[in-house]
């Protein structure tokens, strides 16, 4: 069996033009309807919106906030934040720090291991918006993750991870990895989380900056390829179906 892990912390949704808070609620509500065991970290507002409308037998909701994210304490050290983005209202420092916490949330879930599973899978709280199917079919796709077991870190890859696309990894988004889904063996995920934390702190200390989680995952992949089991996907149905 596999435990699904997700999180939602509102750091800039009110400034976004593509999705508002209610849209994330609608997406996440469908995720909560799945039968797979779930540990989901939510901020106070989303928790209140969800209320009692979920199956408590297979779902643990945990309150969290931006201030709980470990990289938040490094905010003042990031004096050279220069990511190149066409969506500055989304890709601000708080958002980048939040998405870099995915591996920490999955680590917290593994240490809790509320459902006693050997595998865990991260799924973005709002992933429904890239999946083209009925709501019922979406829930089925999520349920199917419960039976997929891997011994390494299974991770969705858009670009060929063994090709050099000659991009500035510290400033430009690099889609070697899709970002929305990754998982696998709990011990390997704990190692991935440790590598991610160290790498983030190193980048902040050396570059006085930070960037998208997928870029940092790629830097880790270069050093520890044996840790990963990439699969081909895109920001569409394949990100779930090919896991």
Domains along the sequence of the chain with CATH: 2-241 (3.90.550)
Report the candidate in 190, 224, 196, 231 with the shortest Cα–Cα distance to residue 212: 196
Q: How many residues does the chain have?
A: 243
- Contact of 2 with 148, CB cutoff 8 Å: yes
Q: What is the token pair recorded at 100?
A: 């870099």
Whether pTM > 0.75 for this model: the answer is yes
DSSP tag of 84: B
Strand partners, 4: 38, 121
The Cα–Cα gap between 43 and 61 comes to 10
**SS3 state at 38:** strand
Strands of 181-185's sheet, edge to edge? 59-63, 38-42, 2-8, 119-123, 181-185, 153-157, 228-232
**SS3 state at 69:** coil
- Contact of 155 with 231, CB cutoff 8 Å: yes
pLDDT in tens, the chain (243 residues): 999 999 999 997 655 555 689 999 999 999 999 999 999 999 999 999 999 989 899 999 999 999 999 999 999 999 999 999 998 888 999 999 999 999 999 999 999 999 999 999 999 999 999 999 999 999 999 999 999 999 999 999 999 999 999 999 999 999 999 999 999 999 999 999 999 999 999 999 999 999 999 999 999 999 999 999 999 999 999 999 999
């Amino acid at each position: 069996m596999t435990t699904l892990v997700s999180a939602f912390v509102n750091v800039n949704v009110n400034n976004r033009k593509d999705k508002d808070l209610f849209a994330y609620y609608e997406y996440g509500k469908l995720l909560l309807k799945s039968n797979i065991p779930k540990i989901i970290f939510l901020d106070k507002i989303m928790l209140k919106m969800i209320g009692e409308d979920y199956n408590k037998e297979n779902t643990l909701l945990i309150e969290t906030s931006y201030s709980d994210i470990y990289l938040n304490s490094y905010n003042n050290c990031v004096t050279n934040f220069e990511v190149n983005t066409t969506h500055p209202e989304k890709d601000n420092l708080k958002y980048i720090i939040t998405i870099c916490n995915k591996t920490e949330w999955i680590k917290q879930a593994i240490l809790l291991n509320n459902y006693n599973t050997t595998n865990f899978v991260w799924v973005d709280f709002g992933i429904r918006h890239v999946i083209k199917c009925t709501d019922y079919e979406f829930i089925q796709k999520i349920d199917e993750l419960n039976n997929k077991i891997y011994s390494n870190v299974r991770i969705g890859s858009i670009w060929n991870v063994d090709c050099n696309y000659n991009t500035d990894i510290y400033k430009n988004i690099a889609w070697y990895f899709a970002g929305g889904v990754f998982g696998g063996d709990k011990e390997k995920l704990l190692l991935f989380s440790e590598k991610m934390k160290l790498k983030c702190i190193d980048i902040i200390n050396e570059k006085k900056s930070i960037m998208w989680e997928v870029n940092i995952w790629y830097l880790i992949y270069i050093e520890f390829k044996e840790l990963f089991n990439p699969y081909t996907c895109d920001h569409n149905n394949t990100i779930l179906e090919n896991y």
